[in-house]
Chains A and B, each alone.
Chain A
Amino acid sequence: MADVPGNQARLDKPRVRGQSRLWGWLDRRTGLDRLLHEALDERIPGGARFAYVFGSGLLFILLSQIITGVFLAFYYVPSADHAHTTMAYNIKEVTAGSFIRSLHAYGSSAMVIILILHVAQTFLYGSYKGRRELLWVSGCVLLVLVMAMAFTGYLLPWDQKAYFATTVGTNILGEIPLIGGGVKRLMRGGTEMGTLTLSRFFVFHVFLIPAAIFVLIAMHVHLFRKAGAAGPASEDPFSPKQKTEPFYPRQVLMDLGLALLLIAALGVLAHVAPFDLGPKANPADTQYVPRPEWYYLPVFQWLKYWPGSLAVVGILVIPGLIGVLFVGLPFIDRRRERRPWRRPVAVGSFAVVLLSLGGLGWLSHYNDQRDPGVARQVAKQRKGTEEFMRAPFAFELETSAASLAAAQASAVDPLLVKGKALYGEQSCDSCHGDGGVGTADGAKLIGIAAKLPGDKLAAVLKHPTRAMAEGGMEPVQLMDEEMKALVAYVASLK
């Protein structure tokens, strides 16, 4: 519809005249027509295929994560004392809150799955060949950024599993020789996990990493369009010889097919099995068995095999080597050959790494099931989570200094109870605030007993000093017994 000039379209199709005129008007001002051509007429050697859908699938999930993530931020406070309550409020009280949160949480798993498929397809088809080194490297950086999103996002609900999984995760990074201790402390914002850790993870998850992802995606897509679609494995990586097919319509339809499949799968999952939230993180819990999300299980299991001084090999040397080989792949493997069966070393190594990761993940799961102690604890944790999910939302009681002081005073002592009543009756609270917290009109009374010990407090109540009188303090006129109660109450304010 787009490449015919406006007036020609008018001659051809009188029925859509209005639309064409509008389109022409818009195009002359925006250049949309050329943009659409650029986007949709990308030529694919060998034609459209379902194997090529994963890249746009990732973009689609990213879009979903951005939208659901922004919505989640409506009801989220990134601090250790409120994160869990606000999350629970979002899930249990807000309409569709649980559904949107589930889409976001399951979306992260979908992102990792499609990412693995995207990498596997690129690897098997040898699509990193033919002046596509930077395209591959930018993809590797995106892979790391996506895993970092998964890691930082996991802590934000601040429930037991989030807290302990992140404790383990940051401890692992602390094992890196020389810089490990510093890295761990920087990530946590201190030596221990706490509210600073949560703030940091929030900033990384919501501002820094997404910004980096946007930049890297722009680079990745630009580099992809610059190099052109690589086509099937039988195609020459430098100068494609097979007949080409434009991206639109068939490849677009296939990509949309995956998008629809993802929507349906995530929607059904989020509706049928809402993603759970466990009880609030309790750092004092020594029984908790932490387990990361499935995509980090292989790493978790792998590190079990490298105790003590060997940890360097397990954490740094071997993953580092694999990482360098992986990122450097297009620089190392420079042959033109793309067909996987003609590249046994590359494809074999890739398969070994992938299968090892799968095997490690399975082993971790299997070990947990076989160990009765762990299995019992894990079952108990699951039960705790289910109970929390069933319980109605518990509002967070505002614990201001005033209500704390009031609660303390009214605890037991009848003298204090009487004193508190007098404090209200004498209108002390109108200037000094509930529980003596102080207001713009009157000084804070909390801790006054230390400044005016013994009878001095009663003395200034009866005969305020000049400074007090100038501030509006009226002499308190009470019977001795009542004065005693009032003084006892004021002195008790802490």
Chain B
Amino acid sequence: MGSEAPVPKDFQKPNYQGSGTLSSPAPSRRSFLGWLLAIGTAGVSALLSVPLVRFLLYPLLAQTTETKWSEVGEASEFALISPSVKRSITVEQRDGWRRIVSEKPVYVTKDAQGRLRVLSAVCPHLGCSVPWVDGKQGFICPCHRAVFAPDGAKISGPAPRAMDELETQIQDGKLMVHYQYFRQLVPGKEVIG
């Protein structure tokens, strides 16, 4: 890089009166230095970008949004239920730095094999909460009269499918449930959150 590069008029420098330049290395040494600098800068930049990349990838490394398993009760206390029992569960959702706690109604019931099942009380038709009606031995939605059997199967009314069963597990003798919402008005169960 010599000093005879064309310089536009408006960038004209002060009137340098000193002749010649101090220590300007030979071109080959300069280009070698250029490479060295480029590689060095790239290396340091790569090193510096490590924390930045880790920061950006945080949602991949940790759970930032999730719904935790909610406790329904001791599994043993549901041994003798018949045909179903209503429980309010506390659903805790983690959303970044927020914790959203809400109460949701669910029904604990049993299938033919005696396995515990947990049904969401949200009607698959339009989302009303479905109550158990003792006199009719079934679930009857008060909004549009959808009727479900004690195990949640659809009997009559406008509902497109049976009441939605929630994912369960037994943990340390406790019945746990993973609360979810499902799309309404469709014949199949589709998780929406």
Binding site for B on A (CB under 8 A): 1-4, 34, 37-38, 40-41, 43, 45-47, 67, 71, 74-75, 82, 85-86, 88-89, 93-97, 99-100, 130, 225-228, 238-246, 248-250, 252-253, 256, 260, 263, 393, 395-398, 402-403, 406, 421, 424-427, 429-431, 434, 472, 474
Contacts and interface: CB of A to CB of B under 8 A. Distances in A.
B46 interface: no
Contacts of B142: 426-427, 474
* Max chain A C-beta neighbours (<10 A), residue from B7, B14, B128, B142: B14
A246 B129 CA distance: 79
Given A240-B18, A245-B22, A256-B37, A89 B96 contact: yes
A67 B44 CA distance: 15
Nearest 10 CB-CB pairs, A to B?
A89-B97, A395-B99, A430-B128, A96-B51, A245-B22, A398-B100, A427-B129, A37-B5, A1-B31, A243-B18
A241 B11 contact: no
B88 A431 contact: no
* Max chain A C-beta neighbours (<10 A), residue from B1, B2, B142: B1
Per DSSP, are chain A's interface residues mostly helix, strand or loop, or mixed? Answer: mixed
A99 B58 CA distance: 14
A113 B6 CA distance: 38
B99 A41 contact: no
A425 B31 CA distance: 81
Given A43-B3, A424-B105, A425-B86, A239 B15 contact: yes
Interface residues of B, number: 60
B54 A395 contact: no
Contacts of A38: 7, 11
Given A38-B11, A244-B18, A424-B129, 20 more contacts: A38-B7, A41-B3, A43-B3, A75-B97, A95-B54, A95-B61, A97-B55, A99-B51, A225-B11, A238-B15, A240-B14, A241-B17, A243-B22, A244-B3, A246-B21, A256-B37, A398-B99, A398-B100, A425-B86, A430-B127
B82 interface: no
Interface string B15-33: 1111111111101001101
A38 B13 CA distance: 11
B138 to A, nearest CB: 15
A244 B22 contact: yes
B57 interface: yes
Nearest to A37: B5
B17 A240 contact: yes
Given A95-B57, A95-B58, A243-B19, A248 B1 contact: yes
B81 interface: no
Nearest to A427: B129
Contacts of A263: 44, 48
Nearest to A97: B55
Interface in B46-60: 48, 51-52, 54-58
Contacts of B102: 402-403, 434
Contacts of B94: 395
A331 B48 CA distance: 43
A396 B97 contact: yes
Contacts of B99: 395-398
Interface string B68-97: 000000000000000000101000001011
Nearest to A242: B18
Contact of A85 (B1, B13, B97, B128): B97
B18 A427 contact: no
